[in-house]
Structure 1
Amino acid sequence: MQSTTEILEELGWNARFSEQVSRAEAEQYQPVRVMAVHRGKIAVAGAEGQRFISPYIPGAGPSDDHPTVGDWLLIHDATSEPIRVLRRMNLFKRRAPGDPRKEQMIAANVDTLFIVASCNQDFSVARLERYLVLAREVGVNPVVVLTKTDLTDAPETFAAMAHALQPGLRVETINGRDPASVACLASWCSKGKTVALLGSSGVGKSTLVNTLRGSVSIATQAIRARDGTGRHTTTVREMHRLDRGGWLLDTPGMRELQLSDAAEGISEVFDDLIEMARRCRFSDCAHRGEPDCAVRTAIADGTLPSARFDRWQKLASEDGDHPGRRTKRPR
C-alpha cells in the first residue's frame, strides 16, 4: 500500500511545495493538485483520491491567487474548501482574448513544454517564436514537436525552420498516431514530471495525448482540407496520466497568443538581434533610419532576415504596451 508521500510524489509533489506547509497546517489541511479546470469547479487529486471542489478561495485577491491546472492547493480536511494556492514553480499566462487589460492563466508547475506544430500549411514560424518566448520567460525547457510527418514528403524542411529559431533548440518530428514514432518523447514524461502541450487547433495535440496514454479516450477532429486549420477539440485545461508515471497537461488550441510581461523571454529568443543592436551608434536606436544602425546594415546585406526583425519589433511593442508597463523599445 502506497504512503501519502508516495501518492503525492507521483502527482508531482516535491520539497519546493512541502516546505511551504507548516506543521500546524498539515494537521488540518491536505495538499491536492488541480487536474482540470471546468466552468465553476475544478477537479483535484491527492492522497484521498480525486474529487470536484469549488475554485473560489475565500479572501483571495489578485487573479494569480486563483487556482489553475497544475497548481497545488491546500484544502480543508473536513469541508474540502480551498485555503490557498501554494507558491508556483512557474506560471504560463497570456493576455485574455478580447480584453488586453486582463490576463488568463494557462498552466502552472510545468517541467517541460511541448510546443506542437504540424507539417502542413498551418506551420507558422511566428507562432512558434511566441511559444518559445513564453517558455523562456517562465524558465521551462521547450521541445518543439512537429506532427503529421505522414502528410508531407519533406518533414526535414519544417524541422530545419524550427531549428533555426534558436541554437540548441530540441526539435522532434513525429507521426502522432504511431506509438513507435512518439516514443522519442518518453524521456520527458517520467514519474512525477509534468509536460504541457501548447499549439494551435488542428496540430494533433489530442491525437498525441491519446498515443502517449495508449488510449483513444480524447476526441479528435479532422482539419479543414482547404487551409489546414483545425477545429477546437480540447475545451478544458486538463492533466492526463501517462504509462511512465508522468503527466500531460493539455490545453485548448490557441491561435491567438498575446504575450504578457515577457521582456526576458523576448530577450532570450532574440538574443542575436539584441547583441546586434548594441553595435548601433545610438543606444536608443529605433532601427528605422538612424545613421550607423547595425541592425539595418545586417538587413541590407542579408545577414538578418527582415521578417525576423519585424517579428522582434512586434513582440517587443506588444510587450511594452502591456497595461501598467512603461512602453519601451527593444533597445
Structure 2
Amino acid sequence: MKRNYQKFFPPGTQKGGSNKHFSLLEKLGWQPHFAQQISSDELIETPPVRVVEVHRSGLHVLGSAVDEVIPPRPDATVGDWLLLNREHMASSRVLERKSLLKRRAPGTDRQVQLIAANIETAFVVSSCNQDFNVARLERYVALCFEAEIDPVILLTKSDLASDPRAYAAKAAEISQRVPVITLDARASEPVSKLADWCKAGKTVAFLGSSGVGKSTLTNALSGTGSIATQAIREDDAKGRHTTTRRQLHLVPGGCLVLDTPGMRELQLTDAASGIEDLFADISELARGCKFKDCRHETEPGCAVQAAIVSGDLDASRLQRWRKLKAEEAFNSASLAERRSKDKAFGKMVRRIMKAKENR
C-alpha cells in the first residue's frame, strides 16, 4: 500500500492544501524546516514526535499515533522534534532546531541548561508592582534575541496599578524592536491582545519570575483553569512556584503554549550577539567614539559619555550593558574551558580503550 506523506507537511505545501484543517503533527508545530531534514524512508522507520513535557524520569513525546514517555537524554528539551527509533531509543535523532533557549545552569558545575526549543514567540512576563525590574527584563530579551525568538514584553496586574503606563514606558525603553503590552491576565484580554502571535501551529512561551501570572495567562488562552495558580506574597509581591516543570499545552485554535517555572537565576552564556542586539543604541553611539578601543569611561572624544551628559543615554543603561557583557564573557569562557577539558578527557579514555583492544 502506498503511504500518504502529505500529513507530514503543513497546509500550503500540499497540493490543493487548506489552512482550515490541521493534522495532529501540524497542531504540534510540524513545519517544512523539519520535514526537509528527513527522507521518506526515515518517516516509515522513525516517526517524528515532539517533546511536550520534560520529567526527571523521561521525556513525554507526542506524534501521529504516539503518546508515551521515553528515557531522558541530555541533548533534548521541551519543544524538540525527534525521529523516534523504537529499537534503539538512544539513537532517536534530534532534528535541527529553529531556535533554542539556554542558560548557564545554576550552581558551580559550569554546565549549559537547555530551556526550550523551536519557540517562535516568547512573552517576557513581569508585573506592574515591586516585581518590575528593567535589568531582569533585559536579560530575558537578550536571551530571546540570541535564540532568534521574537520577544514581547507582557506587563500583568495592570488593573492593580495606579499608573500602568509608567511601567509600560520604562519597558518600552529596553528595545525599539520589542512590543510592550499591558493586560489583566485573569480577564479576557490575553486572548484578544495576544491573538496575532498565538496562531494555529505556532509555539509561544511565557518566561518570567514566579508569581507574575504565566500559568494564569496559559489558563486564559486555553479557556480552562486546569493549571494550578497561587497568589503572590503581599509583603514583597514575590511569587511562589506554581509550575514545576516545562510543559507544552495545546490550546483552542491550535497554538502551543509553553509554561515554564520561574527562574530565580538567569545567567547568560554564548549570548554576545543577543546582548549586542539589545543594546544596539550603545553600539551605534560607540561608532562615533574617537578611539576604536574606547571603554566609554574617561577617554577623550567618547560619544557614549557625551550622550549621557546630553541626556540621550541613561548612565544606568550603560552600567547594565557592562554587567551583562562581563557576565556573558566570563560564563562563555568558563564553559569553553569545561568543554576543552571534557574533550581532552574523552581523548584520553579513547586512547586507553584502544590500547586495551590492541593487547
Aligned with residue 83 of structure 2, among 74, 85, 89: 74
1:191 aligns to what? 200
State the shift of 1:182 in Å: 4.0
Aligned position for 2:288: 279
Contact 1:146/1:159 (8 A) holds in 2: yes
Matches within 5 A, 1:154-193: 154-180=163-189, 182-193=191-202
**Which of the residues 2, 18, 24 maps onto 2:35?**
18
Question: How many corresponding residue pairs?
Answer: 318
Aligned residue number for residue 47 of structure 1: 64
Amino acid at match of 1:125: V
User: Is 1:201 the counterpart of 2:218 in the alignment?
Assistant: no
- Residue equivalent to 1:306: 315
Deviation at 1:301, TM superposition (A): 2.8
**Which structure carries more helix by proportion?**
2
Structure 2 vs 1, CA of residues 72 and 117 (structure 1 numbering), >3 Å: closer, same or farther?
Answer: same
* TM-score for both structures, normalised by structure 1: 0.91
Are the aligned partners of 1:189 and 1:242 in contact in 2 as well (CA < 8 Å)? Answer: no
Q: Which residue of 2 aligns with 1:98?
A: 107
State the alpha-carbon separation in 2 of the partners of residues 302 and 34 from structure 1. 48
Secondary structure of 1:212's counterpart equals: helix
Q: Map 1:240-259 onto structure 2 (within 5 A).
A: 240-259=249-268
Distance 1:306 1:325 in 2: 29
Q: Deviations over 1:70-115 (max 9, x none)?
A: 0000112567666111110010000001136211000000111111
Q: Identity, % of aligned pairs?
A: 50
C-alpha distance in 1 between matches for 2:91 and 2:157: 41
Cα gap change, 1:100 to 1:281, in 2 (>3 Å): farther
Deviation at 1:255, TM superposition (A): 2.7
Is the 8 Å Cα contact of residues 190 and 220 (structure 2) preserved in structure 1? no
The separation in 1 between residues aligned to 2:193 and 2:150, in whole angstroms, is 16
Cα distance, 1:323 vs. partner? 3.8
Matched residue, 2:157: 148
What stretches of structure 1 of length at least 5 have no aligned partner?
57-62
Does residue 1:210 correspond to 2:196, yes or no? no
1:326 is displaced (CA, Å) by: 11
The answer on whether the counterparts of 2:153 and 2:171 sit within 8 Å (CA) in structure 1 is yes
Deviations, residues 154-194 of structure 1 (Å, cap 9, x unaligned):
11111111111112421111100002454211221111100
Q: TM-score scaled to structure 2, two decimals?
A: 0.84
How big is the shift at 1:231? 1.1
Higher strand share: 1
CA distance in 1: counterparts of 2:190 and 2:27, whole angstroms:
26
Task: Tell me how far 1:297 sits from its aligned partner.
Answer: 2.0
Structure-2 separation of matches of 1:126 and 1:290: 26
2:53 aligned partner? 36
**1:133 and 2:150 aligned:** no
Which of the numbers 131, 150, 170 marks the counterpart of 1:122?
131
> Unaligned stretches of 5+ in structure 2?
1-5, 9-22, 337-359
Distance in 2 (CA, whole Å) between partners of 1:100 and 1:291 is 42
Larger radius of gyration: 2
Shift in Å, 1:4: 4.5
The answer to whether structure 1 residue 261 and structure 2 residue 278 are counterparts is: no
RMSD: 2.0
Aligned residue type for 2:125: V
Residue 246 of structure 1 aligns to which amino acid in structure 2? C
Q: Is the CA contact 1:101–1:323 (under 8 Å) kept in the aligned structure 2?
A: no
**Which secondary structure state, in structure 2, belongs to the residue aligned with residue 32 of structure 1?**
strand
Task: Indicate if the aligned counterparts of 2:99 and 2:147 stay in contact, CA closer than 8 A.
Answer: yes
